[in-house]
């Protein structure tokens, strides 16, 4: 463990709550291979612990999560992208979604790309009013490869997903709430904590097994798509346009795409 993801437990309304905190604020909490491994290990711990009644995922610093760190995936080959980065990321996000406990994602700042895919693995999402929420991958010649395309469409509808994913522009927290992408919007940090506390009060009053069974039934609505996403992401990673998108991002310039 390298402390890029922190874990703590605390009591709320007499029940044990697990906090997972993304702890890479100087990089916008951008996700790395190591962070994925840490999240996976903590999820295994939480899944076994019947004393934990709910999970809250947060981020340190200004942002919740600005996505997958481009330094982690930008130089991967097409095969490495599909097999290592995409499948591993999807596996970890599925661990979050498969937890028997309800999971709350606290979007206290910008939530982009893989960060939004991480948030979509949670059951409930609250965002501070000033947050920007988006999946800008197409601007880098990439796709939202951790299942985000499908999950977004399932959450907000195909028409809205087209607008969101193809334009690549972030939306406000209020628009995200109107779409059903987030469940509540808070004015500031204090208000977001109040909302989380209110949800936790309701959640810990419910029967744990009944909630776990309900989550399992909801999961049956999804079809296995891991290999399809890995294949599509590998295809994108192998294009000259993706290489140009990554290089332009690193050089802080506008990319020039040639459709190849």
pLDDT at 1 > cutoff 60: no
CA gyration radius for the chain?
18
Question: To 10 degrees, the CA torsion angle through 249, 254, 258, 259?
Answer: 60
CA of 18: how far to CAs of 55, 71, 252, in Å? Answer: 5, 29, 38
- Domain segments of the chain as ranges: 5-187
Could you give the CA distance from residue 218 to residue 24 in angstroms, rounded to a whole number? 32
Could you give the CA distance from residue 178 to residue 201 in angstroms, rounded to a whole number? 24
- What is the pLDDT at residue 235? 83
Among candidate residues 4, 38, 94, 117, the one labeled active-site is 117
Say which CATH architecture domain 5-187 belongs to.
Answer: Alpha-Beta Complex (3.90)
Question: What pTM was estimated for this model as a whole?
Answer: 0.86
In a 3-state reduction of DSSP, which class is residue 17? Answer: strand
Q: pLDDT tens, 77-136?
A: 888 888 888 899 999 999 999 999 999 999 999 999 999 999 999 999 999 999 999 999
Q: Is 117 labeled as catalytic in the residue annotation? A: yes
Could you give the CA distance from residue 33 to residue 246 in angstroms, rounded to a whole number? 18
Average pLDDT across the chain, whole number: 92
Q: pLDDT tens, 181-237?
A: 999 999 999 999 999 999 999 999 999 999 999 998 888 776 666 677 677 777 888
Could you give the CA distance from residue 220 to residue 1 in angstroms, rounded to a whole number? 33
- What is the pLDDT at residue 231? 79
Among candidate residues 4, 38, 94, 137, the one labeled active-site is 137
């Amino acid at each position: 463990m390298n402390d890029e993801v922190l874990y703590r437990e605390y009591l709320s309304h007499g029940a044990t709550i697990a906090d997972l905190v993304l702890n890479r604020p100087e990089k916008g909490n951008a996700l790395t291979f190591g962070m994925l491994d840490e999240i996976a290990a903590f999820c295994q711990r939480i899944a076994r612990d019947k004393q934990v009644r709910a999970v809250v995922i947060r981020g340190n610093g200004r942002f919740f999560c600005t996505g997958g760190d481009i330094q982690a995936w930008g130089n991967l080959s097409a095969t490495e992208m599909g097999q290592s980065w995409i499948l591993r990321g999807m596996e970890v996000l599925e661990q979050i979604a498969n937890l028997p406990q309800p999971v709350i994602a606290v979007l206290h700042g910008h939530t982009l790309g893989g960060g939004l895919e991480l948030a979509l693995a949670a059951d409930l999402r609250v965002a501070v009013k000033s947050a920007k929420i988006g999946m800008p991958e197409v601007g880098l010649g990439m796709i939202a490869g951790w299942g985000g395309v499908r999950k977004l469409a399932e959450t907000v509808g195909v028409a809205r997903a087209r607008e969101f994913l193809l334009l690549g522009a972030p939306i406000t927290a209020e628009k995200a709430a109107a779409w059903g992408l987030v469940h509540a919007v808070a004015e500031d940090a204090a208000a977001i904590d109040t909302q989380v506390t209110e949800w936790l009060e309701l959640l810990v009053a419910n029967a744990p097994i009944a909630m776990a069974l309900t989550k399992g039934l909801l999961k049956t609505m999804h079809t296995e798509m891991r290999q399809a996403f890995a294949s599509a992401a590998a295809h994108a990673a192998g294009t000259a346009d993706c290489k140009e998108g990554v290089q332009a991002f690193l050089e802080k310039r506008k990319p020039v795409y040639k459709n190849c």
